[in-house]
Chain A
């Protein structure tokens, strides 16, 4: 299991990197943290002619919070989400869910942008980008595009990124006010891709009913999915665990992942609903001030 030959470039500026992408297009793969790409290379399931290693590109590894937005450079390592105080303060959901992304050794190299661009539907970060209504910033020599997460994932392990584009940042609106969050995942082993995972944000009205809800799922379809019908069903209701759970049945129809060696589709349907309702209930409890 050794990688095939490739032409290797490790530019230090974004301009150089974009130049290489403009020149080589689909023949060039971006090497970010390498936790998904390098296994594919080692198994020779991917054989790009050119690797554009963005690890030395200046300016992609920053993290800052300003004006209600948490902006993460695409090369921010995933472990930073776990460790960084700014992230924990701004988007505690992200900090808490990050420990489910592979294992710590993977997160030391794996990047936020790499995971999003790889777009594995069972991965946590794409799901989190959706639930947080993140915006993804793509650059090319043609300029900059800001893509809402809801438009970013367009098929199985596929995104709307163009061959000449590089993901440079993720902008996450910092949830304002008293927003509760929850994250639930079921995997065969700890650290595996999700059989089903759900992330939720909930705000409550003065009467304790759900004022707004955002719920997204991983592992259940070709892409991560927002459970919009479930969100709508929750709004205005009294979020008792029973209400939250019974409304979650609606999620079952979102599940399209076929049977595989780890789980059946029937199972994923049930468990998608369970993880969603548990995530929402956890979010409700946090919105009420519990932990």
Chain B
């Protein structure tokens, strides 16, 4: 049986748009397959790996555990919302590259979004506290150390008035 369809309107990376979706379509699949936001990655589809993390009204959520219909009326931010211009990266993206905080890149968009959320909401976390806050996203490559470094470095960049406005 084909599922029910619904029309939804939501804001993605600052742009409002409407689409018709099957009600069982996950938010992750909606973002990837309908909007070509390929920074949303499917690593486990059962809410453990965190690679599909997006910001829903500014808070990190696992988009494989939501249905697109549930995002109707909400704001979503994906890594593409920070910058898609490789010559003009967001300071957090810069920090990840400078600190070699990515290898295969599969967890990277999720880690970057989580970093943005932490810097915005949680102030001066210690390295140990940063680790706890990153523990919901698995990285299989880096051993995390450089990701923690990138969070610290990005925080410094963002607190620098020269770049904070971006």
B135 touches A191 (CB 8 A): yes
B66 at the interface (CB under 8 A from A): yes
B67 at the interface (CB under 8 A from A): yes
Say yes or no: A3-B70 contact (C-beta < 8 A), given A99-B132, A105-B60.
no
Q: How far is the CA of A106 from the CA of B45 in the complex (A)?
A: 13
A8 touches B67 (CB 8 A): yes
Q: How far is the CA of A38 from the CA of B6 in the complex (A)?
A: 19
CB neighbours (8 Å) of B61 from chain A are: 105, 108-109
CB neighbours (8 Å) of B76 from chain A are: none
Question: In chain A, what residue has the closest Cβ to B55?
Answer: A108
Q: CB-CB contacts of A172-200 with B at 8 A, as 1s and 0s?
A: 00000000000000000111000000000
A64 at the interface (CB under 8 A from B): no
Say yes or no: A108-B56 contact (C-beta < 8 A), given A5-B1, A190-B135.
yes
B3 at the interface (CB under 8 A from A): yes
CB neighbours (8 Å) of B4 from chain A are: 7-8
Q: How far is the CA of A43 from the CA of B44 in the complex (A)?
A: 10
B37 to chain A, nearest CB (A): 18
B69 at the interface (CB under 8 A from A): yes
B46 touches A5 (CB 8 A): no
A109 touches B69 (CB 8 A): no
B59 at the interface (CB under 8 A from A): yes
Q: How far is the CA of A92 from the CA of B58 in the complex (A)?
A: 26
Say yes or no: A42-B23 contact (C-beta < 8 A), given A55-B70, A109-B62.
no
A252 at the interface (CB under 8 A from B): no
B3 touches A5 (CB 8 A): yes
A35 at the interface (CB under 8 A from B): yes
Q: Interface residue count for B (Cβ, 8 Å)?
A: 31
Q: CB-CB contacts of A36-77 with B at 8 A, as 1s and 0s?
A: 001100110000000001010000000000000000000000
B132 touches A190 (CB 8 A): yes
B65 touches A6 (CB 8 A): no
B115 to chain A, nearest CB (A): 13
Is chain A's interface secondary structure helix, strand, loop, or mixed overall?
loop
Q: CB-CB contacts of B45-75 with A at 8 A, as 1s and 0s?
A: 1110010010010011110111101100000
B133 at the interface (CB under 8 A from A): yes
Q: How far is the CA of A188 from the CA of B24 in the complex (A)?
A: 33
A102 at the interface (CB under 8 A from B): yes
Q: How far is the CA of A190 from the CA of B47 in the complex (A)?
A: 15
Q: CB-CB contacts of A100-128 with B at 8 A, as 1s and 0s?
A: 00111110110000000000000000000
CB neighbours (8 Å) of A42 from chain B are: 26, 45-46, 64
Tell which of B1, B56, B66, B114 has the most Cβ of chain A within 10 Å: B66
Identify which of B3, B60, B66 contacts A104 (C-beta below 8 A). B60
B135 touches A10 (CB 8 A): no
Q: What are the nearest 9 A-B pairs in CB distance?
A: A103-B136, A8-B23, A39-B46, A1-B45, A38-B65, A105-B136, A108-B59, A5-B3, A105-B60
* Sample (14) of A-B pairs whose CB atoms are under 8 Å apart: A2-B26, A5-B1, A5-B24, A6-B23, A35-B65, A38-B26, A53-B67, A53-B70, A102-B136, A105-B50, A105-B60, A105-B62, A106-B47, A108-B56
